Structure 1
Amino acid sequence: MSLTIGMVAHDSKKPDLAAWAVQHAGLIARHTVVATATTGGVLKSSLPDLTIRLVKSGPLGGDQQVGAMIAQGELDVLLFFPDPLAAQPHDVDVKALLRLVLVYDIPAAFSPSTASALARSGLFDR
């Protein structure tokens, strides 16, 4: 069974998410990856063969699109690397996304170490 994995990162954390994705390319390549536009571009430059479905960039509604996918049961896992030290102009969208992760109880990781813990859990082996 294939998973749909959402991948989102704030600007300063995009390199961390890309590095994590390169390290775990074999795991995520078997699944459907959905990413916000700018994050997806960074991922694509690091993993040119990875198929990525792009939604809008976060500030333009991409976080809400990912949230809608969660609410509709279309997203199985979220890897979201936020920058906790920088103010985000679309902070309300970020909070709404996190709320949906909790409401619908989907597995989520917010840093490279928690994403790696999810990878070690066997979740991506489906």
Structure 2
Amino acid sequence: MAGKPSIALIAHDQKKDDLADFAHRHEAVLAGWQIVATGTTGGRIQQACPSLSVQRMKSGPLGGDQQIGALIATGEIDMLIFFVDPLTAMPHDVDVKALMRLATVYDIPMALNRATAELMIAHATR
């Protein structure tokens, strides 16, 4: 993903609308990024922000988390915003942990909630 910096956007369960709202609020900033998202989350972001181009992977539990993990491992993702829903069961918990582990191993800035995502976006625009 040459040129623009790349950002992966993922949200689980009840956090999808929150991430779509976050993207809408920062649509002008995100226009300068290549955006990769898991399937359903990417669809919600495209609905909220029609001006953004979103590369959609598979749904998280169907391999999308792993696809984004592979992009991290190959140096194609610069930042990860991953709104985890801590109040719902995650049957694909191992995929979630693997993605977080790869972001940590490859030293990718990662936000797991909106407050941290706001700080990262503010810093990225300086």
* TM-score of the pair, normalised by structure 2: 0.95
Query: Which structure 1 residue ranges, 4+ long, deviate > 6 Å from structure 2?
Result: none
**2:43 aligns to what SS in structure 1?**
helix
**1:33 partnered with 2:57:** no
Counterpart residue type for residue 26 of structure 2:
H
Q: Aligned residue for 2:94? A: 92
- The amino acid of 1:80's aligned partner reads F
2:74 matched to which residue of 1? Answer: 72
* Structure 1 residues 113 and 63: CA distance shift in structure 2, 3 A: same
Counterpart amino acid of residue 54 in structure 1: R
Q: Which residue of 1 aligns with 2:46?
A: 44
Query: Would the aligned equivalents of 1:8 and 1:79 in 2 still touch at CA under 8 Å?
Result: yes
1:61 to 2:51 alignment? no
Distance, in Å, in 1 between the alignment partners of 2:57 and 2:74 is: 15
Q: Which amino acid aligns with 1:30?
A: G
> Match for 2:15: what amino acid?
K
Q: TM-score, normalised by structure 1?
A: 0.95
Secondary structure of the corresponding residue to residue 53 of structure 1: strand
CA RMSD of aligned residues (A): 1.0
Between the aligned partners of 2:125 and 2:98, the Cα distance in structure 1 is 25
Query: 1:15-50 CA distances to partner (integer Å, 9 max, x unpaired)?
Result: 110111111111111110000010001101101121
Higher relative contact order (CA 8 A, sep 6+): 1
Distance 2:53 2:113 in 1: 22
Task: Write the distance in 2 (CA, Å) between the matches of 1:96 and 1:59.
Answer: 12
2:13 touches 2:88 (CA, 8 Å); kept in 1? no
1:70–1:100 CA contact under 8 A, matched in 2: yes
Mapped to 1, the partners of 2:79 and 2:56 lie a distance apart of 16
Match of 1:2 in 2: 4
Determine the C-alpha separation between the residues in 2 that align with 1:119 and 1:38.
Answer: 22
Stretches of structure 2 lacking an aligned partner (at least 5 in a row): none
1:14 is matched with 16
User: How far did 1:124 drift?
Assistant: 4.2
Shift in Å, 1:89 = 1.1
